Amino acid sequence: GDSVTQMEGPVTLSEEAFLTINCTYTATGYPSLFWYVQYPGEGLQLLLKATKADDKGSNKGFEATYRKETTSFHLEKGSVQVSDSAVYFCALSRNNAGNMLTFGGGTRLMVKP
Amino acid sequence: DVKVTQSSRYLVKRTGEKVFLECVQDMDHENMFWYRQDPGLGLRLIYFSYDVKMKEKGDIPEGYSVSREKKERFSLILESASTNQTSMYLCASSFSGSNEKLFFGSGTQLSVL
């Protein structure tokens, strides 16, 4: 079945450092790919998405490119802030039907001043 | 702003009790979902509903049931709570159609003793 694999955390960075969180997937067909973020004490919220190969999703300085050849959707940000500290989830849609998502295990990011 | 409200933030129950988790959304969304979130496992889909009185099993429905009598409300029921159901439960909703954004509640942390 479909699956999503993320790098294990926590990832600890200093403010203004470069961020990469790796995400790879296994799926039949051509799923859409998503990054959701969960801030402390809150529910998940959509950060960005890409619906087809070579699409780049971007939001709030974060970006990720849908790479079909490597089945990857790595999240990057050029300069992280303390306020980016959160848990990040990579996810894929299941056959583009009903918005059912398969999530990865989540990666906790801690940014220190 | 869309609001997804879960009735309790923290809940403590005894083994064998019947437990109800309630979720209400205020944006007339067709789809509603129940996920459980466990460290390292990410989010796993328990049940979802695409219309009133309609429900579909997700990946881990065993030990759970759901009810959707009104469009805005989706209830998760643990018929006889067990310790392995201790977890964070997240409700989400979305419009129907492909690649629609999911809106999440802030979660209910359930402890079964």
Q: Is the pLDDT assigned to residue B100 strictly greater than 60?
A: yes
- Give the separation between CA A41 and CA B61, rounded to whole angstroms: 26
> Which of A6, A98, A106 lies closest to B31 in CB terms?
A98
Which residues of B are less than 8 Å from A29 in CB distance? none
Residue A67 has a pLDDT of: 96
What average pLDDT does chain B have?
93
Residue B10 touches partner A, C-beta closer than 8 Å: no
DSSP letter for A64, please. Answer: E
> Which of B50, B99, B104 lies closest to A45 in CB terms?
B104
Which residues of A are less than 8 Å from B92 in CB distance? 43-44
pLDDT digits (tens, 9 = 90+) for A51-103: 999 999 999 999 999 999 999 999 999 999 999 999 999 999 876 555 788 99
Residue A98 has a pLDDT of: 58
pLDDT digits (tens, 9 = 90+) for A1-46: 889 999 888 999 999 999 999 999 999 888 899 999 999 988 899 9
- The SS3 call for residue A84 is helix
Instruction: Give the CA distances from residue A61 to residues A16, A19, A37, in Å, rounded to whole numbers and listed in that order.
Output: 12, 11, 14
Residue B58 touches partner A, C-beta closer than 8 Å: yes
The more confident residue out of A100 and B79 is B79
Q: Is the pLDDT assigned to residue B78 strictly greater than 80?
A: yes
The mean per-residue pLDDT over the stretch B84-111 comes to 91
Residue B50 touches partner A, C-beta closer than 8 Å: yes
Residue B39 has a pLDDT of: 86
A103·B42 Cβ contact <8 A: yes
Shortest distance, CA A103 to any CA of chain B (angstroms): 6
Those residues with Cβ within 8 angstroms of residue B84's Cβ, 6 or more apart along the chain or in another chain: none
Residue B33 has a pLDDT of: 96
pLDDT digits (tens, 9 = 90+) for B7-57: 889 999 999 999 999 999 999 999 999 999 998 888 999 999 999 999 999
